[in-house]
Structure formats: structure tokens, C-alpha cells
């Protein structure tokens, strides 16, 4: 009887695991999304998400849009725009997405994943790291301005 109960619990708990969740509320609960990406690492969480963009940066031909002023803030989600997406966006809208999306509410479709960020000291990687949650955007169809 004990084994049947244990087996039933294991089967039911396996049925509830779902790494491909789709979230589409009026505004995405950032902390809940960060928790879900951690729970589903390294696979991530697929969905359509809505965020307010508070900061942006261009680094190594990639535009980063952040939901917090400090990209290292635990509460920050980072949207990565691929260089080809940046070029297509600039051609279509005549401005950089780094400037265009700043202080706007956006909807982005993709996979939110937990990314390990290593600390660098004197040009070398240290043993210290932290995690960020990133969503990669490789197509203009994945991101749009809501307001």
C-alpha cells in the first residue's frame, strides 16, 4: 500500500511539471517569471510577456532592454535583440531600438531563460557568478510596443 501511494504521488507530480508555460497577463509578474525560469533551468519558459523597459544598452552589437535601471538587479528581466534584428528594426523605423523602446511598455514573445553571468577581474573570469533572466529576440515579430 505504501508503494502504491508513493508511486501515485510520483506519477501525479510528474504530470504537473510543465517547462513550456504561456503567460499573457496584462503585465507579467517579473518575480514569478524569474522563479519559473530557475525552476525550469536550463530549458526556460516559453510565452508572451509584457514589461516596462526602464534601461537599455548596446554592447558587442547586441541591444539589451532591461526592466530595471540596474541590469544586475535580481528583479530585472533582460531582452536581447540580435544584431540582425537591430539592423531590420533600424531600417524599418529609422531609429535604434536602444532608444525607441526606452520608457515604453512592450510585449515580447520567446523563451525566458536563466543565464549564468561570470564576474571578470583583471580581464579574467573569476569563480563568482550570478544569474540573469534573458529573452532572446531574433525577429521583429517577437517584440512590439504596447504604449
pLDDT by residue (tens digit) across 79-107? 999 999 999 999 999 999 999 999 999 99
Q: Is 11 part of a structural domain of the chain?
A: no
Q: Is 1 part of a structural domain of the chain?
A: no
CATH classification of the domain holding 33: 2.40.50
Q: Is 3 part of a structural domain of the chain?
A: no
Q: Per the structure, how many domains does the chain have? A: 1
Supply the pTM of this predicted model: 0.79
Q: Is 15 part of a structural domain of the chain?
A: no
Q: Is 114 part of a structural domain of the chain?
A: yes
> What is the extent of the structural domain holding 33?
20-145
Q: Is 120 part of a structural domain of the chain?
A: yes
Whole-angstrom Cα distance, residue 2 to residue 24? 41
In the chain, % of residues over pLDDT 90: 80
Give the per-residue pLDDT at 18: 39
pLDDT by residue (tens digit) across 118-134? 999 999 999 999 999 99
Amino acid at each position: 500500500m505504501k508503494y502504491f501511494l508513493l508511486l501515485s504521488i510520483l506519477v501525479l507530480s510528474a504530470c504537473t511539471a510543465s517547462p513550456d508555460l504561456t503567460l499573457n497577463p496584462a503585465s507579467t509578474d517579473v518575480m514569478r517569471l524569474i522563479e519559473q525560469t530557475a525552476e525550469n533551468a536550463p530549458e526556460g519558459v516559453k510565452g508572451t510577456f509584457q514589461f516596462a523597459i526602464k534601461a537599455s544598452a548596446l554592447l558587442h552589437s547586441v541591444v539589451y532592454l532591461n526592466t530595471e535601471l540596474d541590469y544586475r538587479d535580481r528583479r530585472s528581466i533582460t531582452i536581447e535583440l540580435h544584431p540582425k534584428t537591430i539592423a531590420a528594426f533600424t531600417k524599418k523605423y529609422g531609429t535604434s531600438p536602444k532608444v525607441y523602446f526606452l520608457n515604453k511598455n512592450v510585449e515580447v514573445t520567446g523563451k525566458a531563460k536563466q543565464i549564468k553571468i561570470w564576474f571578470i577581474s583583471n580581464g579574467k573570469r573569476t569563480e563568482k557568478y550570478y544569474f540573469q533572466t534573458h529573452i532572446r529576440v531574433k525577429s521583429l515579430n517577437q517584440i512590439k510596443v504596447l504604449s
